[in-house]
Chains A and B, each alone.
Chain A
Amino acid sequence: MTCDEFKERAAAYALVALDVGEHDACARHLASTFPHLGCREAVAEAELVAARLGASLDPERPASQVWQAIAARLQEARGSAAAVDDVARRRGLYHLCGWLVAAALVGLYLYNAPLDHRLLEVLAGHGGHFVAPGR
């Protein structure tokens, strides 16, 4: 879709009066990052008209349960986010422990490695027969 084709549809897009396929194509065009030729401005202007039309209706306060339901959903979302954080924290701790164990093993190996080399050198110097020091 070109910017000109989009702008032809901008008013209907803002009014949500396009058919689904066309609406989705417009949404994709609008979301694309290439330089637009006034597409966003065209939609913004049409959305302002739409908002003004909506403002002419008598406001109607929803029941108090609506806000309570919203607050409950936010609380629930925060609870699950906290649980996810907790799991992530524990998982992080397990990972850290794993790395510490691995680092300790590597350290032990490196600490022992020079001794092994010295042992091999000692063995090589005695024709492959190990003679205990002091004999």
Chain B
Amino acid sequence: MHPGVTGARQKTSERALLGRVATGDVAALRLVYEEHAPRAMAIARRILRNVEEAEDIVQETFLELWRRAPQFDGRRGGLVAWIVTIARSRAIDRLRSTATAGRVADEASVSPEVHPASPPSPVAETERRLTESKVADALAALPPEQRRTIQLAYFDGLSQTEIAAKTGSPLGTVKMRVKLAVEKLKHLLKDDFS
């Protein structure tokens, strides 16, 4: 089946599911949670490097999703993008409010240990590995400074100002690197967005 057809069907089903959540259907929220909580957890844990805090973020993310379900706009990248955006924003807010950015930045080169509670299905695992490989290839295709900037911004939750301070680069240069890197990643990963 053409990926575009699958994507369209997926978006329709996401809209229907979010429509049920918007009417107060807890079972529908549970379905969304079962499907996407591990992803929200992964990104929150990557940024905060703390399981309990990451779980708090997952809780906040799905409560926010519950409140804002009527505002879901499928044109803005689908449910996964929405959940990841909420979880990241919440995690970064917490990171910055607890002023632990410095700690995280110092640990940036250390890969966090991850323990999936249950093994994913072979199909899901294959799909994720494929995504991981594509993202790794796309990141590898970036110039080293842009790659480092994106890693610090995305995976460590640093602001552009913090990145400039950490890398010793002018703020304007960091801003330009972020912009160019996202443009390039958009181009490199565009097949995944169809």
A residues sitting closer than 8 Å to B (CB atoms) are 8, 11-12, 14-20, 40, 43-63, 65-67, 69-71, 73-74
Main secondary structure of the interface of B (DSSP, over half): helix
Question: By the criterion CB–CB under 8 Å, are B158 and A17 in contact?
Answer: yes
The A interface, classified by DSSP as helix, strand, loop or mixed, is: helix
Q: Which of B115-158 contact A (CB under 8 A)?
A: 115-118, 120, 128, 131-132, 134-136, 150, 153-155, 157-158
Judging by beta carbons under 8 Å apart, are B131 and A56 in contact? yes
Apart from A11-B182, A52-B193, A60-B38, 20 more pairs, CB < 8 Å: A12-B153, A12-B160, A14-B85, A16-B88, A17-B178, A47-B85, A48-B186, A49-B186, A50-B88, A52-B192, A56-B131, A56-B135, A56-B136, A60-B116, A61-B38, A61-B117, A66-B59, A70-B63, A73-B59, A74-B63
* Bound Cα distance A55, B129 (Å): 10
Q: Which of B39, B55, B157 contacts A55 (CB 8 A)?
A: B39
Number of A-B contacts (CB under 8 A): 157
Is B189 touching A66 in the complex (CB atoms < 8 A)? no
CA distance A46 to B131 in the complex (A): 17
Q: Which of A8, A18, A44, A52 contacts B135 (CB 8 A)?
A: A52
Number of interface residues of B (CB under 8 A): 64
Decide yes or no whether B2 CB sits under 8 A from chain A. Answer: no
With a cutoff of 8 Å between Cβ atoms, the chain A residues found around residue B26 in the complex are 71, 74
C-alpha spacing A45/B115, complex, angstroms = 31
Q: Can you list 29 A-B pairs, Cβ within 8 angstroms, ordered by A? A: A11-B178, A11-B179, A12-B153, A15-B153, A15-B182, A16-B92, A18-B160, A47-B77, A47-B85, A48-B81, A49-B185, A50-B88, A51-B80, A51-B81, A53-B155, A54-B39, A54-B43, A55-B80, A55-B135, A56-B128, A57-B39, A57-B43, A58-B128, A59-B38, A59-B116, A62-B41, A67-B30, A70-B63, A73-B63
Cβ-defined contact, A57 with B182, below 8 A: no
Measured CA separation A43–B186 after assembly (Å): 12
